C-alpha cells in the first residue's frame, strides 16, 4: 500500500455520499488562496488580479493532471510525479456526459492481497470527501472504485484548443506521461524483402509496421536508424542461379526482370523437388558464390541490382524511406569470424553430418540446438544475423534494436539473442523482436502470390473509376496521386485495426471496403475539415470565445482530444498501432456528429470562429495520428471526391432502432451533401 493512503482507512466510519460534489467555478479557500496551489513542484503557477487567483495554462493541456495530482499529493502524502500516471482521461460515452479525468483507487492499493484489501468503493468515497473543487476542477464524484474529476468547461476549452494549435505536430508528445524519457539511439530493421523476388503483399506488413514504429520513436525524440536488411544471400540464390541457367532468357530479364525471375524461381523449385541433380547444382552454385566465383557473383549482382531498382519504386509509392540498405551478403565474410569466435569459446559443436551447431540448452536438447554452418562450410541465416548485430553495435552503439518480421521467426530471434548473450555480448538484452501475423495464401514457391504492385495499381484504378463517375474529378490537380493515397490509407487501416500478431487471409473485398471504419473515412474526414478552413479563411482563427463551445458535441471532442497523449503512450509501450487507429476513427465520428449540428455557415462571427477553432484542432490531431501510421493526409478542394466511394444515402440507414450509429461514413457523407 502506498504511503499516506492508510490515513483514509482511519475515517470515522460515517456513511459517505457517492454523489457528485459540485462547487462554483472559481471556488477559493477562505484565505483567498485557490485550492491546489503550487505544491511539491507541480508545474503550474498563479497570477493575482482583482478577481482573485486564476489558473494559468502549463506547457501542456494535460497540466490538468498535474493540478489534480497536486491535491492528491497533499491528501495522500505522495509526490505528484508518483500519481500522474494513475490519473487518466475518461473515454467519452454516447449515453451520458462523463467526467474528464479519473483516479483508480485500486492502483493505490496494488500491493495489497485481495483477501485483505479494504472496500475500494468506500476508499474512493473517503478520498473524494477530502478533496475540494477549485479554479481547475469544478466537480468531484466517485464511480466504481474511482474518483472522478470534471474540469472547468471554459478552461478546458481554451487550454486544449490553444495547446493543440501551439504544439502542432508535437501535441500529445510533450505530455508529462513522457517526462524524463531519455533520448535513445534506436535501430529498426524492417521490410527486408528477398532479392530477385517481386514485392508481394506479405512484405507489406513488415514495411508498414516497421515504418510506424520508426515514425513513433522519432516523434518521441529518439535518434532512429531505419535499416532494410535485404535477403540477398543464401541457398535461394543457388536455386535461382541454376534456374536461370536452365530456364532463363536474357531478353525477358531485361524487359520484365522480376516477373521473369519469379517464374524461373517457381519452375526450378518444382524441378529440384523431382530431380536431385538440379538440387545438387543449386547447392554447388551457392558454394561458388561463397567462394567468390566471379561468374556466379556477376549473375548474383545483376539480380540484386534489378531487384533494388524495383523496391525503390515501391517504397516511393508507399512513402517509406530507409537510412541504410544492407543485406546478408554484407556479412558473408564476417560470419566466418563469428564461427571462429564461437569455436574459440567452446560453443561450436560438429555433428555426424558435418554441420556445426550451438547447443543453447547445455544438455543436448534437440529443440535448443541452432545450426550455424552447413557441412560444406557455408554460412546460414542465423550466422549472418549474429554478424550483422555485432557490426551494428560497433557502428551505431544502439540503446535498442528492433527487428520487425513475421511470427514464424520468433524462435530464430530467440536463439540469435541467446547466442549473443553466451558469446559475452551483454547488450543482447537491448535487442527486441516485434512479430506479426502472416498474410496467408502467398507462398512464393507455389506461385500463389498477390504482388503488392498489382494491388497498388488495382486500388488506384478502382478509386479513379469511382472518382470519374462524377464531374468534380477535374478539380484535382493530380487525381492519380489522390486515388493512390486513399488506397494506401485503406490498406494501412485494415491492417492496423487488429492485433499485429493476428493472421489474415488477403482479400480484394477487404482491401476495397469503403464502408464503416476505414482509411477512406479518415482521409475523407481530414479533407473535409481542411476544406472548411479554406472556405472560411483564417480570419476567424485569430481568437475565439470559449463560451461558444459548450455544446455536448464540442465537449465530447475536447474530452477526446485530452486522451491523445495516453493513446500515444500506450502505443509507445506495446508498439501496437491499433490504439491510434481506434482513437482516430472515434475522433472522425465525433467530427461527423459535430459538423451536423455545429454549423459554421450563417452562424454569428463569434460562434463561427469558435467552431472553426474546434474543427481545426480536430484536423490537426487527425493529421498527426495519420502521419504516425504512415498515411499522408489529403487536402482536397472537392468534398465529393471521396464521397464517390458510396452513393449518398438517407440518415435512417445509418442508425439501428435504438439509435446506435451503424455506418458513420454514410452519415457523414449525407450530412455534408446538405451542409455549406
- Cite the active site residues: 197, 200, 203
Q: Give the CA-trace dihedral at 162, 564, 36, 150, to 10 degrees.
A: 90
Look at the chain and count its residues.
676
Between CA 420 and CA 426 the distance in angstroms is 8
Mapped onto helix, strand or coil, the DSSP state of residue 604 is coil
Q: Which residues pair with 139 in a beta bridge?
A: 22, 150
Q: Which three cell numbers stand for residue 244?
A: 536461370
Q: Which three cell numbers stand for residue 222?
A: 529518439
**Residues 26, 28, 32, 38, CA torsion sign:** negative
Between CA 187 and CA 225 the distance in angstroms is 5
Q: Give the CA-trace dihedral at 179, 398, 495, 170, to 10 degrees.
A: 30
Between CA 539 and CA 545 the distance in angstroms is 14
Between CA 528 and CA 458 the distance in angstroms is 25
Instruction: Find out whether 646 and 626 touch, Cβ atoms under 8 Å.
Output: no
Between CA 615 and CA 340 the distance in angstroms is 63
Between CA 523 and CA 588 the distance in angstroms is 10
Mapped onto helix, strand or coil, the DSSP state of residue 448 is coil
Q: Which of 207, 205, 172 lies closest to 623 in space, CA to CA?
A: 172
Q: Which three cell numbers stand for residue 132?
A: 475540494
- Residue 348: phi, psi to the nearest 5? -90, 130
Q: Which three cell numbers stand for residue 58?
A: 502549463
Between CA 642 and CA 463 the distance in angstroms is 9
Between CA 445 and CA 170 the distance in angstroms is 46
SS (H, E, C) 635-669: CCCCCHHHHCCCCCCCHHHHECCCCCECCHHHHHH
- Backbone region of residue 32 per phi and psi (left: phi > 0; alpha: psi in -120 to 50; beta: other values): left
Between CA 161 and CA 47 the distance in angstroms is 21
Between CA 479 and CA 594 the distance in angstroms is 29
Q: Where are the alpha helices (DSSP H) in 111-175?
A: 120-129, 153-167
Amino acid at each position: 500500500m502506498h504511503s499516506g493512503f492508510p490515513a483514509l482507512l482511519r475515517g470515522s466510519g460515517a456513511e459517505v455520499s457517492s454523489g457528485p460534489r459540485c462547487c462554483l467555478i472559481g471556488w477559493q479557500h477562505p484565505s483567498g488562496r485557490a485550492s491546489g496551489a503550487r505544491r511539491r513542484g507541480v508545474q503550474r503557477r498563479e497570477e493575482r488580479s482583482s478577481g482573485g487567483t486564476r489558473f494559468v495554462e502549463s506547457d501542456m493541456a494535460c497540466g490538468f493532471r498535474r493540478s489534480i495530482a497536486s491535491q492528491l499529493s497533499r491528501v495522500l502524502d505522495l509526490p505528484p510525479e508518483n500519481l500522474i500516471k494513475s490519473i487518466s482521461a475518461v473515454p467519452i460515452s454516447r449515453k451520458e456526459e462523463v467526467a474528464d479525468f479519473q483516479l483508480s483507487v485500486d492502483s493505490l492499493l496494488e500491493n495489497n492481497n485481495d483477501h485483505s484489501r479494504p472496500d475500494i468503493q468506500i476508499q474512493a468515497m473517503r478520498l473524494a470527501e477530502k478533496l475540494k473543487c477549485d479554479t481547475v476542477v469544478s466537480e468531484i464524484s466517485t464511480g466504481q472504485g474511482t474518483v472522478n474529476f470534471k474540469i472547468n468547461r471554459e478552461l478546458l476549452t481554451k487550454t486544449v484548443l490553444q495547446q493543440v494549435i501551439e504544439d502542432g505536430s508535437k501535441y500529445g508528445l510533450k505530455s508529462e506521461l513522457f517526462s524524463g524519457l531519455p533520448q535513445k539511439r534506436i535501430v529498426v530493421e524492417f521490410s527486408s524483402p528477398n532479392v530477385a523476388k517481386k514485392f508481394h503483399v506479405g512484405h507489406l506488413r513488415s514495411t508498414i509496421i516497421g515504418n510506424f514504429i520508426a515514425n513513433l520513436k522519432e516523434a518521441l525524440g529518439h535518434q532512429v536508424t531505419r535499416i532494410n536488411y535485404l535477403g540477398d544471400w543464401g541457398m535461394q540464390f543457388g536455386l535461382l542461379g541454376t534456374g536461370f541457367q536452365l530456364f532463363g532468357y536474357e531478353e525477358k530479364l531485361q524487359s520484365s526482370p522480376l516477373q521473369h525471375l519469379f517464374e524461373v524461381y517457381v519452375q526450378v523449385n518444382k524441378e529440384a523437388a523431382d530431380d536431385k541433380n538440379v538440387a545438387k547444382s543449386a547447392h554447388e552454385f551457392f558454394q561458388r558464390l561463397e567462394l567468390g566465383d566471379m561468374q556466379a557473383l556477376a549473375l548474383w549482382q545483376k539480380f540484386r541490382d534489378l531487384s533494388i531498382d524495383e523496391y525503390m519504386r515501391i517504397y516511393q509509392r508507399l512513402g517509406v524511406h530507409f537510412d541504410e540498405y544492407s543485406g546478408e551478403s554484407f556479412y558473408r565474410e564476417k560470419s566466418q569470424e563469428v564461427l571462429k569466435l564461437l569455436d574459440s569459446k567452446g560453443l561450436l559443436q560438429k555433428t555426424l553430418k558435418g554441420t556445426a551447431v550451438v547447443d543453447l540448452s547445455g544438455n543436448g536438447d534437440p529443440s535448443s540446438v541452432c545450426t550455424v554452418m552447413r557441412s560444406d562450410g557455408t554460412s546460414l541465416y542465423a550466422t549472418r544475423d549474429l554478424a550483422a548485430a555485432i557490426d551494428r553495435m560497433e557502428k551505431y552503439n544502439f540503446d535498442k534494436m528492433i527487428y520487425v518480421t513475421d511470427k514464424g521467426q520468433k524462435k530464430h530471434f530467440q536463439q540469435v539473442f541467446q547466442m549473443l548473450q553466451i558469446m559475452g555480448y551483454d547488450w543482447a538484452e537491448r535487442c527486441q523482436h516485434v512479430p506479426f501475423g502472416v498474410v496467408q495464401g502467398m507462398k512464393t514457391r507455389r506461385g500463389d502470390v498477390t504482388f503488392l504492385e498489382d494491388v497498388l495499381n488495382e486500388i488506384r484504378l478502382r478509386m479513379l473509376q469511382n472518382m470519374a463517375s462524377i464531374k468534380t474529378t477535374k478539380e484535382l490537380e493530380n487525381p492519380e496521386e489522390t486515388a493512390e493515397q486513399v488506397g494506401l490509407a485503406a490498406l494501412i487501416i485494415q491492417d492496423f485495426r487488429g492485433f499485429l500478431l493476428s493472421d489474415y487471409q488477403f482479400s480484394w473485398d477487404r482491401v476495397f471496403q469503403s464502408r464503416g471504419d476505414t482509411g477512406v473515412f479518415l482521409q475523407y474526414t481530414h479533407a473535409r475539415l481542411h476544406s472548411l478552413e479554406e472556405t472560411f479563411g483564417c480570419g476567424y482563427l485569430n481568437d475565439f470565445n470559449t463560451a461558444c463551445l459548450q455544446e455536448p458535441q464540442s465537449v465530447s471532442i475536447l474530452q477526446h482530444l485530452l486522451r491523445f497523449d495516453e493513446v500515444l503512450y500506450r502505443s509507445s509501450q506495446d508498439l501496437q498501432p491499433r490504439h491510434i487507429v481506434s482513437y482516430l476513427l472515434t475522433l472522425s465520428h465525433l467530427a461527423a456528429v459535430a459538423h451536423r449540428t455545429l454549423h459554421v455557415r450563417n452562424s454569428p462571427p463569434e460562434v463561427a470562429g469558435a467552431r472553426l477553432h474546434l474543427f481545426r484542432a480536430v484536423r490537426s490531431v487527425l493529421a498527426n495520428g495519420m502521419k504516425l501510421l504512415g498515411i499522408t493526409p489529403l487536402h482536397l478542394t472537392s468534398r465529393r471526391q471521396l464521397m464517390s466511394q458510396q452513393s449518398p444515402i438517407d440518415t435512417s440507414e445509418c442508425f439501428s432502432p435504438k439509435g446506435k450509429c451503424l455506418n458513420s461514413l454514410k452519415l457523414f457523407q449525407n450530412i455534408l451533401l446538405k451542409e455549406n
